[in-house]
Amino acid sequence: MQLIESLHDLPPHRASAKHPTALVPTMGALHSGHAALLREARNIVGPEGSVLTSIFVNPLQFDRSPDLQAYPRTWKTDLATAEAEGVDLLFAPKAGEFYATDHSITVAESLLTKHLCGATRPGHFDGVCTVVLKLINLLQPDHAVFGKKDYQQLAVIRRMVRDLGVPIEIHGLDTVREDDGLALSSRNLRLTPEQRADAPRIRRALLAAKDISPTGEQGPEVYLNAARTHIEQSTAGATIDYLQLVDRHTLQPVAKVTDPTLLATAVFYGDVRLIDNIEIGSKP
C-alpha cells in the first residue's frame, strides 16, 4: 500500500494509477462498515484496478468545535485495516496543507439539506461537498463509494455530481450493523457502556415504525409516534435531535406515507450524536 500525506506527492500517483479506480473517503477511526465499503470498492474495480481511500478529519463539516476535537483518531489501527483490505493508495493529508490559510471557495447545496441533518447541523453538508469534491479533483477516481447510513450525505453527493458535472460514478452501500442492530459508526467508540447498551433502541424504534406499514396507514404522525415512543423510553438519557419522514428523492417531509419514504433520525447520548434511517412505505 502506498501512503501519501502531501498534496504535492499526488501527481505521480495520478499518472501511474491502474484504472478503474474507486475511492472510499473517510475521516478515519475505521471499523467494519468502512471495511465493507473498501470491499465494495474492490468489487467495483476488480483485481486489476485500484482501491483508494482517504483519511482526513475535515474541519469544514463540523459545526461544533468540541465534536471536531473529540472525533476519534486511531491512526495505527486505521493503517492496519487499510492494508488488510488491500487498499492500493491511502491519502492522509494534513489539515494545514489541505486547505490554504486563505481558502475562500466552498460548495453550497440549498434544497436537499433543508431538513434532517442539514437543518440541525448548519453548514455541515457544504463542508462535506467541499471536501469530497476536492478529494475527487485531487485523486481523480472513476468511482466513489459511500454508506447509506449517511443517506442524506449520499443524496447530496449524487446531486453535486449531477449538478456540477463531476465525471465519477457514485455507489451507495447498505448500512453495516452490530449484531444488536446498532449501525456501525466511529462515534460508537465514545458511548459509555450504559449508552452503548441502550443505543440499539434507535434501530428498534425505526423497525417499530416500519411494522405499521403493512396496515396501509398513511398518517406520518402514526409512524413518528411509534418510533418516538421507543426512543423516549431510553434508560440512558437518549434525546431526539430530529425524527422525520421524508421523500426518498427530494428529502422533503411527506404529508402522506404512500410510496416508499425514508424515516430518518439523529439521537444524542450526551454529546455523542448517532444517526440511522429506514425505508418504509404503506404497501407491504
Nearest one of 33, 49, 47, 273 to 173, comparing CA atoms:
33
- Shortest Å distance, C-beta 279 to ligand PAF: 20
DSSP-derived pairing of the beta strands 89-91 and 2-4: parallel
Per annotation, catalytic residue among 13, 31, 34, 143: 34
Q: Least distance (Å) from ligand PAF to the CB of residue 54? A: 7
Q: Which is nearer to ligand PAF, 50 or 152 (CB)?
A: 152
Distance of alpha carbon 112 from alpha carbon 273, whole angstroms:
21
Confirm whether 8 is a catalytic residue.
no
Closest separation in Å from C-beta 25 to ligand PAF: 4
- The interface region with ligand PAF, picked from 23-31, 99-107, 192-200, 260-268 by CB under 6 A, is 23-31
Among 40, 78, 126, 150, binds ligand PAF (CB under 6 A): 150
Q: Count other Cβ atoms within 10 Å, centred on residue 267.
A: 22
- Sign of the torsion angle spanned by Cα atoms 223, 225, 229, 231: positive
Which of residues 153 and 213 has its CB atom nearest to ligand PAF in the complex? 153
Number of neighbours of residue 164 by Cβ within 10 angstroms? 10
In the complex with ligand PAF, the residue whose CB is nearer, 23 or 231, is 23
Q: Which stretch binds ligand PAF (CB under 6 A): 1-9, 12-20, 126-134, 167-175?
A: 126-134
Asked if residue 5 lies in contact with residue 94, where contact means CB atoms within 8 angstroms, the answer is: yes
* Residue 263 touches ligand PAF, criterion: CB under 6 A: no
- Least distance (Å) between residue 135 CB and ligand PAF: 8
Among 21, 26, 130, 152, binds ligand PAF (CB under 6 A): 26
* 88 part of the interface to ligand PAF, by CB under 6 A: no
Distance CA 157, CA 133 (A): 9
Pick the closer one to ligand PAF by CB: 150 or 276. 150
The minimum distance between CB 260 and ligand PAF, in angstroms, equals 24
Minimum CB distance to ligand PAF smaller for 26 or for 50? 26
Cell numbers linked to 263: 424515516
| Catalytic positions, written as ranges | 34
